[in-house]
Amino acid sequence: MKTVLVTGSNGLLGQKITEKIIEEGGVNLVATSKGANRFPTEDRYVYAEMDIL
């Protein structure tokens, strides 16, 4: 199974992409952003709060 990393998952575009990937499934999703997670906690993805430089 492929793993997809979405950086900026709390931003406008990041939220839409993350929602779509969660709906479609079939991949391991890792979502990151600088702030707290805005999505409900689910088993279908991993969220990591971080600042990637």
What pLDDT digit, counting tens, does each position of 7-27 carry?
A: 999 899 999 999 999 899 899
Q: Average per-residue pLDDT in the chain?
A: 87
What integer pLDDT is reported at residue 50 of this predicted model? 84
Mean pLDDT, range 21-44, rounded to an integer: 85
As a whole number of angstroms, the distance between CA 35 and CA 3 comes to 22
Give the position of tokens 């929602």: 19
**pLDDT tier for residue 38 given thresholds of 50, 70 and 90:** confident
The number of helices, as runs of H, and strands, as runs of E, in the chain is 1, 3
Backbone angles phi, psi at 7, to 5 degrees: -95, 145
Enumerate the domain spans of the chain.
3-49
Backbone angles phi, psi at 28, to 5 degrees: -85, 120
Which tokens in the block code for residue 17?
Answer: 């992409």
Which tokens in the block code for residue 15?
Answer: 């939220």
